[in-house]
Chains A and B, each alone.
Chain A
Amino acid sequence: MTEYADAPDWTGPLTASGNLRRRERVSRAIEFGAIAAAIIAVAMLALVVAGVVSHGASNLSFSFVTTNESAIAGGGIGNALIGTGVVVAAGALLAIPIGVLTALYVTEVAGPASRSGRALKLGLDLMQGLPTVIVGLFIYGLIVLSQGKQTGWAASVALAIVMLPLTARASQEVLQLVPASLREAADALGVARWRAVVGVILPAAAGGIATGSILAVARAAGETAPVLICNSIYTANTTQLNIFTHGIPTIPMYIYLSTDSIDPNAIKLAWAAAFVLLICILAANIGARVLLARNRARILGG
């Protein structure tokens, strides 16, 4: 009987050799690359946040948040904070009901697979794809030119267009999660469709709609381009609440305009304003995420 010198030991433990070892080395290199990519992304977020925090925190004080911007440059962000709140709130009051209604149209009236449902989805996708500076120009042509001056209201409408696709999509997703059994139960009881919507379906989806709206509002609060085009002429040192007749100071404009300022102090104050804005937006995002996870679990579990 012939013994082969290089015959493998069939009974021994399996070990990678030759080609397989190379293949595993390639695989491990790729895995390492993927981990490195994730680390890079997280590190970049950390760098941005750390930059804003380290530059902003030292210039932040209670009076900075409460006092108004001064007439020339610098000063606090009190009126800008209120202004951002008012302008974004007015936009949200437009965007959220319309967003929810479009979502209801898809889930309760037409159905997601219907022709109009798909056309609406295309429209919302295109709307979301519009650069925000274009939205600003649209509202400039529509409202600012016809009114003859820049107003906070114009910025509100522009921000509503930014928010609408976000609220519509979030509402539609959560409305589709509402169990069909709830609708069937309402139908079986002879409840009119609109009463089922108002009394059963919307309450079940309210939490999800709220979190989607929070995310949209957080996005709009930081939008600068539409505000720059529709609402950048204002009196810096007054708290202005009448959005229909006046330009309203906002935090994004406070930060943006500081880069043109000759006062070196303006940039320090803008860092502090960026800090306030970033913290608010990140907090809203984290909060909304937590709420969303909880709501989803509640709807699907209950």
Chain B
Amino acid sequence: MRLRRRAPSQPAGRTGDRVLFALCAFAVLLVGLTLFGVIFQLISNANPSISRFGLPFLTHTTWKPNKPFETFGAGAMIYGTVVSSLFALALATPLGIAIGLYLSMMARPGVRAVVGSMVEMLAAVPSVIMGFWGLYVLAPFMATHIEPALHSVLGFIPLFGAAQTTGLGLFTAGVILALMILPIIASLSRDLFMTVPAELKDGAAALGATRWEIIRGIVLPTTASGVAAATVLGLGRALGEAIAVTLVVGNLTKIQASLFKPGVTMASLIANEFQYPESKLHVPSLFYLALVLVVIGLLASLAARAIAGRFDVHSQFGVT
């Protein structure tokens, strides 16, 4: 009887391992290809608009896609995107950090689990439902209650002009965006605050610090860069939200001083106009707009990573 040179499982194992490796590598490659594909598709489809309008597209504020004009400029959209996102961030950041503090330092474990999942559940609400609710419930409420009140108190600031009858505008869009990014900031900052070593907090408490002094002196400084990264992540989400914004923003491609007036963002304009191109350069210009949006979003993403990369409480304090 002749001995086999190899155990029967070995060649099969080797082939199997190769197949597994190839499949895994293929999947990883797909991720990379997709990202490059996105950039390639945006550039190639935007090309007619890029070569026609060039960089002044970014500052030009007239957007008239219909036939006799065919003028395209992204100024109003960039303005609307920046204003609504920053407003959303201004609302959601303090709220989110406060919720993170409550969940990580004050709530009992049972309450923490329930409230924490409810806050995260807010992120599960689809954007179309958020926008639909904003259009038919929030916007009328804004128009009749919040906006007149803000106008009467802060009316001397041009941002808070006279209320509109519909309530559709950058202000309502900002509030909806704030609701959508609040769970991101809240749950990320909760996770960050939970990583603060108990020794540091206990030490401060033993020295007589009140809870607020522990927060201000220990918790926030050790997690500051992580919280900043969470905020930038929220910003990235707000910049790119299309459907919810398009339903409540009013879709007027014009820069107006008052937040209560209808406006437009880059993503909302794409969602609103892509199906109905009115001239040859309309679709390429929307792709150009998308390219600008992606570049801004990628920069935000990379910034968040760079900030978060510096954050490592354990190495900072030598606590393991």
Q: A residues bordering B, Cβ < 8 Å?
A: 23-24, 26-27, 30-31, 33-38, 40-42, 44-45, 47-49, 51-52, 55, 97-99, 101-102, 104-105, 108-109, 116, 120, 122-127, 129-135, 137-138, 141-142, 145, 161, 164, 168, 190-195, 197, 218-219, 221-225, 228-229, 232, 252, 255-256, 259, 267, 270-271, 274, 277-278, 281-282, 285-286, 289
Provide the residues of chain A in CB contact with B44, threshold 8 Å. 141
CA distance A134 to B274 in the complex (A): 12
CB of B41, distance to nearest CB on chain A (Å): 4
Q: Are B115 and A42 in contact (CB under 8 A)?
A: yes
Cross-chain contact of B118 among A27, A42, A138, A218 (Cβ < 8 A): A42
Does B119 contact A137, Cβ atoms closer than 8 Å? no
16 interchain pairs, CB-CB under 8 A: A27-B212, A38-B115, A97-B27, A104-B20, A105-B27, A131-B293, A138-B41, A141-B45, A195-B13, A222-B128, A228-B275, A229-B275, A255-B129, A256-B247, A274-B129, A281-B125
Judged by a CB distance under 8 angstroms, whether B121 is at the interface is yes
| Assembled-state Cα–Cα distance A127/B94 (Å) | 27
Q: Across the interface, do A223 and B126 meet the contact criterion of CB distance under 8 Å?
A: yes
Q: CB-defined interface of B1-31 with A at 8 Å, one 1/0 digit per residue?
A: 0000000011011101101110111111011
- Tell me if B262 is interfacial: C-beta within 8 Å of chain A: no
Contacting residues, chain B, for A190 (C-beta < 8 A): 9
* Contact residues in B for A38 (Cβ distance below 8 Å): 98-99, 102-103, 107, 115, 119
Taking a contact as CB atoms under 8 Å apart, the answer to whether A195 and B16 are in contact is yes
Residue B127 at the A interface, CB < 8 A? yes
Q: Which residues of A sit under 8 angstroms from B80, Cβ to Cβ?
A: none
Surface stretch bound by A, among B56-64, B133-141, B152-160? B133-141
A34 touches B242 (CB 8 A): no
Of B133, B275, B287, the contact of A48 (CB 8 Å cutoff) = B133
- Contact A281 B27, CB 8 Å, known A38-B115, A137-B270: no
B32-40, B70-78, B143-151, B253-261 - interface stretch: B32-40
Give the interface centre of A36, A135, A141, A142 by most chain B CB atoms within 10 Å: A141
> Are A127 and B133 touching (Cβ within 8 A)?
no
State whether A45 touches B28 (Cβ < 8 A). no
Residues of B within 8 A of A133 (CB): 240, 242-243, 267, 270-271, 290
B residues within 8 A CB of A141?
41-42, 44-45, 287
The interface of chain B, by Cβ under 8 A from chain A, is 9-10, 12-14, 16-17, 19-21, 23-28, 30-32, 34-35, 37-38, 41-42, 44-45, 94-96, 98-99, 101-103, 106-107, 115, 117-119, 121-122, 124-130, 132-133, 135-137, 179, 182-183, 186, 210-213, 215, 233, 236, 239-243, 247, 267, 270-271, 274-275, 286-287, 290, 293-294, 297-298, 300-301, 305
* Chain A nearest Cβ from B139, distance in angstroms: 12
Q: How far is the CB of B284 from chain A (nearest CB, A)?
A: 11
Give the shortest distance, in Å, between B243 (CB) and chain A (any CB): 4
Contacts of B125 in A (CB 8 A): 45, 48-49, 222, 278, 281
How far does the Cβ of B275 sit from chain A's closest Cβ, in whole Å?
A: 6
Is A193 a contact partner of B121 (Cβ separation < 8 A)?
no
Partner of B28, one of A116, A126, A259: A116
B119 interface neighbour in A42, A104, A130, A228, Cβ under 8 Å: A42
Cα distance A41–B187 in the bound complex, in angstroms: 12
Instruction: Determine the distance from Cα of A104 to Cα of B25 in the docked complex, in whole angstroms.
Output: 10
Kindly list chain B residues whose C-beta atoms are within 8 Å of the C-beta of A31.
Answer: 106, 211-212
- Assuming the contacts A225-B243, A274-B129, asked whether A24 and B118 have C-beta atoms less than 8 A apart, the reply is no
- Indicate if the CB atoms of A130 and B16 lie closer than 8 Å: no
Inter-chain CA distance A259–B94, complex, in Å, is: 33
- Minimum Cβ distance to chain B for residue A106 (Å): 9
Whether the Cβ atoms of A129 and B132 lie closer than 8 Å is no
Q: Are B137 and A98 in contact (CB under 8 A)?
A: no
**CB of B53, distance to nearest CB on chain A (Å):** 18
A98-B27 contact, Cβ under 8 Å, with A48-B130, A129-B236: yes
When distances are taken between beta carbons in the complex, the residues of chain B under 8 Å from A168 are 31
8 Å CB contact of B99 from A37, A124, A145, A267: A37
- Per CB-CB distance, the 6 closest pairs between chain A and chain B, nearest first, are A131-B240, A222-B126, A192-B13, A37-B98, A101-B27, A141-B41
Partner of B34, one of A34, A47, A127: A127
> Other than the known A38-B119, A141-B42, what 4 A-B pairs have Cβ atoms closer than 8 Å?
A137-B270, A193-B20, A252-B128, A274-B128
- Assuming the contacts A41-B118, A134-B38, A256-B243, asked whether A34 and B129 have C-beta atoms less than 8 A apart, the reply is no
Are the C-beta atoms of A137 and B126 separated by less than 8 Å? no
Q: Does the CB pair B106–A34 fall under 8 Å?
A: yes
B31 touches A120 (CB 8 A): yes
Interface centre among A30, A137, A161, A285, by most B CB within 10 Å? A137
Contacts of B126 in A (CB 8 A): 221-224, 252, 277-278, 281
How far apart sit A278 and B137, CA to CA, in the bound complex (Å)?
16
User: What distance in Å separates the Cβ of A222 from its nearest Cβ neighbour in chain B?
Assistant: 3
Closest-by-CB residue of B relative to A40 is B95
Residue among A23, A126, A192 making CB contact with B14, cutoff 8 Å: A192
B132 in contact with A274 (CB, 8 Å)? yes
Q: Across the interface, do B294 and A134 meet the contact criterion of CB distance under 8 Å?
A: yes
* CB nearest neighbor in A for B104: A34
Q: For B242, what are the chain A residues with a Cβ–Cβ distance below 8 Å? A: 131-133, 225
In the complex, A116 Cα to B25 Cα: how many Å? 10
Q: Are B98 and A229 in contact (CB under 8 A)?
A: no
Taken together as a complex, chains A and B put the C-alpha atoms of A278 and B103 apart, in Å, by 26
Known: A33-B98, A224-B128, A228-B275. Contact between A109 and B21, CB under 8 A?
yes
